Structure 1
Amino acid sequence: MPFISKIERQSDYNRFSSSTPIVIDNGASYFRIGWAGEAEPRVVFRNIVQRPRHKATGETVTIVGDHDPALLKYFDCTRSGPRSAFDSDVVFQFEIMEYILDFAFDRMGATGSEIDHPILITECVCNPVQSRSKMAELLFETYGVPSIAFGVDASFSYKYNQQRSVCDKDGLAMCPGFATTHVIPFVDGEPIYKGSCRTNIGGFHVTDYLKQLLSLKYPYHLARFTWEKVEDLKMEHCYVAQDYVSEARLFQKGAKEADEKTKMWQLPWVPPPVEEPPSEEEIARKAAIREKQGQRLREMAEAKRSSKINELENELRGLEFLLNQLGHVQESDVPSFLAETGYVSRQEVESARNKNMQSLRKAKGEEKSEQAEIEKTDPNEKYTLINVPDDMLTTEQLFEKRKQLSIKSMSDGRQRLKQKRQEEEQERGRKQQLEEERRLANPELYVEQLRASYNDLSEKLNQRKRLKTNGGSSTNGNGLAGSVGRGERLNAAQRERMRLLTTAAFDRGKGEDTFGAKDEDWQLYKLMSKDNDDDDEEPDEDSVELARITSRLQELDPTFVPKVETGSSQPAEVPRVRPLTKEDFQIVFGIERFRCPEILFSPNWIGVDQVGLDEMAGVSMRRLSCNDERLEERMTNSILVTGGSSRFPGIIERLEAGIRMIRPCGSPIKIIRALDPVMDAWRGASAYASTPGFHTQTFTRMDYYEKGEDWLRNYQLKYSL
């Protein structure tokens, strides 16, 4: 079976005798396997399996635990995500468990399918007999293991620390693990499982809660919050608060202590390149290039113009020569004379010559100069017939006089409009200059005045629009606005349409329906469809001023958002997008640092209706039903905290404060963290498997075939050998 992994394969498997046990710490988070008697496991990897297909060949490969991310680009992982064999610390997917064991034995150096070494494997507290039976069946029938022993990881960790005088024979083992949290009481060095307690909260839920909080806080950095990265952030920054409410108030008030406890994770960020202004030499060089290009374009345009002028002059000379020849030809012979030239008559030749002359004058620029001279001339010279009485003019002169009057009136109108526009432009420039002086004198006051003017104008326009739409408002006896009728809610254009429809229906109902027989009837549709609403009206001065103030505020105040007009479905304008800065790529950890581990003490925060870690100690002691106060004191005087989630700073002090609340005043309470909360379970199992009496605690393959599940149901390891 092909594997993808960065873990090296061991080469000394055959050097160990068949009596040397193999120790397996089968945790929900990590899988550890090694030889009994050694201080460290040989192979450690995450207890997950992924089976993608190769993109080119379609072959299915098995990725167990840690893998090389650079190799995943060759595989299709969309349909195969990481899968675990566990459900709340109980193995239930034995197909996945087989992949994990195959990989583990392969990395240990086993060459054949038979494993001829005894196996010591860990399990959770009060593991269901079905899970234990399936695990024994897998090891016996698939791998041919000679004998197996099952033990609890937290018990091995407690015994390992007891041998090193960290804890006593009587005590409590508290194990906040990956998916669950267990509390196991120990009496005379042996675990009492009937007094154990379990909560379905662990490090997985803490990491998942932190991932959710960061995703909600920074939704634009979702790709950064991978499971592995959030796990590292949790172990690096999170801690347990001694008093959650007091700690949260510090961050709510923004105290100095809260700023000191706030951490920051800087994501990779590259500042945008800053364009430096060009130097004087660069500006001069570009100007010279532009001048050179412009000169070349001007030369090309001049050459094209000269060529066109020469072509028009040659064509004009040809047409004049043709007209001179036509002067010596009789009128009856003209069509035959012009047969080869392409023209039909003398008038067509003259028309072509006139057009050619006009094009030639336009190409030489003489037409614009003539028009300018005409404009410079005195109006009395241009319009000679305006001041002449009508009785002194002929019919053609009267027609010409009316034409001159029309032209003169249009010219005067254009001059007046041009003069008005110039005056308005000067007035606008003067107002802008005054506003700029006011802004420079006091920018804050200027922006505040603009906002006040904007609010007044917008309210005025909205009120005017409401009055036009509703037709006014009526009030009741209390002076409050009452209901309005249908007619009052319609504006003038809508009421006119209603009148036309009513009139047309009334006229049609008098007799025979002859609507449409006359052309005048169809004018009714034009009147009804004519839109006289305010939307098509020219904007008044207030609307223009409001638009100007809005644009001015958007330039000066980036936080300004225009209001939505009354009756308009258009959303408010989105503020302008500002360029990203270094602060936009900073992940700040404030209250999240202690809020996520708090679910170990308050599982109901994430919907788990169970007790917290501190209350589990009291529940476990009550389940013993020993009624021995001295035994309870000895147990609370030796509380060992182990497991991956016990490495949070402050968890020991928080546990001591919580347990002291449920114990009598003056009771001795001593809580100790394990020497290595993660590896002590495997080390304790390794030390236990290396003792001479270990073989008495195992059951062989023949015992399994003869006694079956009933024997496994009552099987319990004795930890004090």
Structure 2
Amino acid sequence: MGANGSEIDHPVLITECVCNPVQSRSKMGELLFETYGVPSIAFGVDAAFSYKYNQQQGICNRDGLAMCPGFTTTHLIPFVDGEPMYKGCCRTNIGGFHLTDYLKQLLSLKYPYHMGRFTWEKVEDLKMEHCYIAQDYVSEARLFQKGTKEAEEKTRLWQLPWVPPPTEEPPSEEEIARKAAIKEKQGQRLREMAEAKRSSKINELENELHGLEFLLNQLEKVAESDVPSFLAETGYVSRQEIESARNRTTQSLRKAKGEPKSEQTEAERADSSNNEKYSLVNVPDDMLTPEQLIEKKKQLALKSMSEGRQRLKQKRQEAELERERKQQLEEEKRLENPELYLEQLHAKYKDLSEKIDQRKRLKTNGGHTNGNNLSGGVGRGERLNAAQRERMRLLTTAAFDRGKGEDTFGAKDEDWQLYKLMSRDNDDDDEGPDEDDAELARISSRLQDLDPTFVPKLEAGTSQNAEVPRVRPLTQEDFQIVFGVERFRCPEILFNPNWIGVDQVGLDEMAGVSMRRLPFKDESLQSRLTSSILLTGGSSLFPGIVERLEAGIRMIRPCGSPIKIVRALDPVMDAWRGAAAYASGPQFHTQTFSKMDYYEKGEDWLRSYQLKYSL
């Protein structure tokens, strides 16, 4: 209109939907009259303008139906003698907006990792470019379900931007040789640094050893009475401490020089160290002072703990050697007869599994109950192991003795042994299950290494974890959007609005509803209406919509009724062309609503205002 803040001095024609509310007309009239100073305005229906324009072009007749699936709604207007019959209008709240939103949801659910690509504008373009109306939705869906060749031909692909990852070429021989030379040079430098550090450490240890030997030689020459003062100057407490420091320095020096250790030397060193550490153990008690006796007890305790640790360490080493020996024997058996060895492993795994399952069933209360409410397993007494039965016996005995008379439990030291018997953590019966579980795990691991078809048995109450998908490089197929059933599933809601929660009729049923609303029941008129049905609006561009709509209307009309459905010349722009031709006519000013009428009659006059399309 050229509204740039100045007044408009020509009439304005406003298009609207069918039965537009008076409130919308009044607000538009107030804006145009009071803000822009428009002399007069007129209101017309866009579908009616499109029908009249195509009628002038010979596409449709004076009597017919204008069906306009628009952006937000779908309207159907019957025309009688070239004028719309608004009493027979029908409306459904489904349009192109809902189709685009539905397709966007379908693609987002199918490809959630590409959701950012599905912008509203791109989905709108995909809808208008690839979607079509299926003549029979169920049959079309079965084609894609079976994956027939016809379904493959109807499938479309949308390739997203994808850049193949750069391929790394193997290094050349010159590059390999260059890297090897650099690595060798770095290794040589590290070796030289390590050798220099080793030589420096050897010199320091030799100097320290010479100093300790010189100190011991000087200590031999010092009188007995002057020994404490001499030691105070050196920083040592006793001669034994100096000798221990010399021994440690000697061992460190041998280690730095790489000299082998002899077992005899190691044993002698350990014996001398023990003698120095536990010097009061072998001394009789009558020769010691009270303070020395306390120290002797401490040394005895420390020595017993140290010996215990040594025995435990030796026991572990022996167990490790025994385990290695067994593994070597098993490997020899496997090499001799692999099939027999694998069969024996399976049999042993089966026996251990049954044994462990039986033990677990004994710990539960008999599994499921049958119809007689009888337990299907063992009872409480049979489920207890030997250690638990012994504890129950001790508790029962103590309670029985206590009930005989006066409670004297605890008067004797022997009574407190009962708690020691009941608080044992390491029972003999508990060692077996741990060993069985460890052996079962070892055999299972061995079978997984040797037999690729072996599947370990799951424990009760656990579920097998799904295999973690391996990381693979993304390919071109990962960036392809496949349009299969979405092509015809999206526009199908024009005929089945209940798919998206809109409880209204579809396009084919709207024709029957509209003709039933007409004030007169004339079969010949209804035949004339169905013989000239015009499809207009952006959502009427889908391929196959004319055939599908004709089949649907034929099912609700009597047999032999004439049905002819045509599409507008330009479903998107014909409404504008019809309105432009109407506004340029010489009698257009007689159909307008002037500013004087607005000020004199007010907004209520807009309620009865109706445009005449046949001038």
- Please indicate, yes or no, whether the TM-score normalized by the shorter chain is above 0.5: yes
Residues 28-54 of structure 1: per-residue CA shift (max 9 Å, x gap) = xxxxxxxxxxxxxxxxxxxxxxxxxxx
State the distance in 2 between where 1:667 and 1:473 align: 73
- Partner amino acid, structure 2, of 1:333: D
Of 529, 543, 550, the match for 1:656: 550
2:218 alignment counterpart: 325
Structure-2 change in CA distance of 1:648 and 1:424 (3 Å): same
State the distance in 2 between where 1:659 and 1:253 align: 30
Indicate whether 1:128 and 2:21 are aligned: yes
- Partner amino acid, structure 2, of 1:421: E
Cα offset for 1:455? 12
- Partner amino acid, structure 2, of 1:713: R
Residues 449-506 of structure 1: per-residue CA shift (max 9 Å, x gap) = 9xx999979985884465233365698699x985557727956499659938974994
Cα offset for 1:281? 3.5
State the secondary structure of the residue aligned to 1:576. Answer: coil
1:545 alignment counterpart: 443
Residues 124-151 of structure 1: per-residue CA shift (max 9 Å, x gap) = 1011222222332233334433322111
Question: Could you tell which deviates more after superposition, 349-358 or 510-519?
Answer: 510-519
Structure-2 change in CA distance of 1:539 and 1:247 (3 Å): same
- Partner amino acid, structure 2, of 1:717: L
**8 A contact 2:362–2:378 mirrored in 1:** no
Cα offset for 1:701? 2.5
Indicate whether 1:603 and 2:497 are aligned: yes
Cα offset for 1:339? 4.4
State the distance in 2 between where 1:458 and 1:275 align: 50
1:145 alignment counterpart: 38
State the distance in 1 between where 2:353 and 2:239 align: 75
Residues 256-306 of structure 1: per-residue CA shift (max 9 Å, x gap) = 111111112222334444444444443333333332222222211111111
Indicate whether 1:623 and 2:522 are aligned: no
1:370 alignment counterpart: 262
Cα offset for 1:336? 3.6
**8 A contact 2:365–2:378 mirrored in 1:** no
1:9 alignment counterpart: none
State the secondary structure of the residue aligned to 1:122. Answer: strand
Indicate whether 1:354 and 2:251 are aligned: no
Residues 296-319 of structure 1: per-residue CA shift (max 9 Å, x gap) = 222111111111111111122222
**8 A contact 1:171–1:187 mirrored in 2:** yes
**8 A contact 2:104–2:123 mirrored in 1:** yes
1:682 alignment counterpart: 576
1:374-393 aligned at under 5 Å gives the runs none
Structure that is richer in helix per residue: 2
1:282 alignment counterpart: 175
Indicate whether 1:258 and 2:155 are aligned: no
Indicate whether 1:692 and 2:586 are aligned: yes
Indicate whether 1:182 and 2:66 are aligned: no
1:489-638 aligned at under 5 Å gives the runs 492=385, 499=392, 503=396, 506=399, 510=403, 520=417, 523=420, 526-527=423-424, 532=430, 538-549=436-447, 565-568=459-462, 572-579=465-472, 580-638=474-532
Cα offset for 1:713? 0.8
Cα offset for 1:198? 1.0
State the secondary structure of the residue aligned to 1:185. Answer: strand
Structure-2 change in CA distance of 1:252 and 1:461 (3 Å): farther
Cα offset for 1:166? 1.7
State the distance in 2 between where 1:204 and 1:455 align: 64
**8 A contact 1:561–1:575 mirrored in 2:** no
- Partner amino acid, structure 2, of 1:682: W
Cα offset for 1:160? 1.6
**8 A contact 1:454–1:546 mirrored in 2:** no
Indicate whether 1:421 and 2:324 are aligned: yes
**8 A contact 2:444–2:456 mirrored in 1:** no
1:84-483 aligned at under 5 Å gives the runs 108=2, 110-112=3-5, 114-366=7-259, 368-371=260-263, 418=321, 421-422=324-325, 424-425=327-328, 427-428=330-331, 431=334, 460=354, 463-464=357-358, 466-470=360-364, 483=376
State the secondary structure of the residue aligned to 2:561. Answer: coil
- Partner amino acid, structure 1, of 2:91: R
Structure-2 change in CA distance of 1:633 and 1:411 (3 Å): closer
| Higher RCO, Cα 8 Å, sep 6+ | 2
Please tell me whether Structure 1 or Structure 2 has the larger radius of gyration of its CA atoms.
2
Structure-2 change in CA distance of 1:142 and 1:549 (3 Å): farther
- Partner amino acid, structure 1, of 2:122: K
State the distance in 2 between where 1:356 and 1:502 align: 61
**8 A contact 1:564–1:572 mirrored in 2:** no
State the distance in 2 between where 1:234 and 1:338 align: 100
Between the two proteins, the alignment pairs up a number of residues equal to: 568
State the secondary structure of the residue aligned to 1:624. Answer: coil
Cα offset for 1:626? 3.3
Cα offset for 1:243? 1.3
Structure-2 change in CA distance of 1:542 and 1:142 (3 Å): same
Question: Could you tell which deviates more after superposition, 595-604 or 525-534?
Answer: 525-534
Q: Which residues of structure 1 form unaligned runs of 5+?
A: 1-21, 23-107, 376-405, 439-445
**8 A contact 1:185–1:196 mirrored in 2:** yes
State the distance in 2 between where 1:155 and 1:514 align: 111
Structure-2 change in CA distance of 1:257 and 1:142 (3 Å): same
Cα offset for 1:325? 3.0
Residues 70-111 of structure 1: per-residue CA shift (max 9 Å, x gap) = xxxxxxxxxxxxxxxxxxxxxxxxxxxxxxxxxxxxxx4x33
Aligned-residue Cα RMSD (Å) equals: 4.4
Q: Which residues of structure 2 form unaligned runs of 5+?
A: 268-308
Residues 482-538 of structure 1: per-residue CA shift (max 9 Å, x gap) = 555772795649965993897499469848889899755654773589895998555
State the distance in 2 between where 1:409 and 1:130 align: 97
Cα offset for 1:196? 1.1
Indicate whether 1:710 and 2:613 are aligned: no
State the secondary structure of the residue aligned to 1:588. Answer: strand
Structure-2 change in CA distance of 1:349 and 1:409 (3 Å): closer
State the distance in 2 between where 1:505 and 1:199 align: 88
State the distance in 1 between where 2:349 and 2:569 align: 69
1:37 alignment counterpart: none
1:12 alignment counterpart: none
**8 A contact 2:219–2:227 mirrored in 1:** yes
State the distance in 1 between where 2:455 and 2:22 align: 66
State the distance in 1 between where 2:347 and 2:482 align: 40
What TM-score do you get using the length of structure 2 for normalisation?
A: 0.79
Structure-2 change in CA distance of 1:491 and 1:716 (3 Å): farther
**8 A contact 1:602–1:612 mirrored in 2:** yes
Cα offset for 1:655? 1.0
**8 A contact 2:44–2:611 mirrored in 1:** yes
State the secondary structure of the residue aligned to 1:198. Answer: strand
- Partner amino acid, structure 2, of 1:539: D
Cα offset for 1:717? 0.8
Cα offset for 1:156? 1.0
Cα offset for 1:714? 0.6
Structure-2 change in CA distance of 1:673 and 1:300 (3 Å): same
**8 A contact 2:100–2:123 mirrored in 1:** yes
Cα offset for 1:663? 2.5
**8 A contact 2:202–2:256 mirrored in 1:** yes
State the distance in 1 between where 2:348 and 2:491 align: 50
Cα offset for 1:422? 4.9
**8 A contact 1:240–1:649 mirrored in 2:** yes
What TM-score do you get using the length of structure 1 for normalisation?
A: 0.68
State the distance in 1 between where 2:147 and 2:97 align: 30
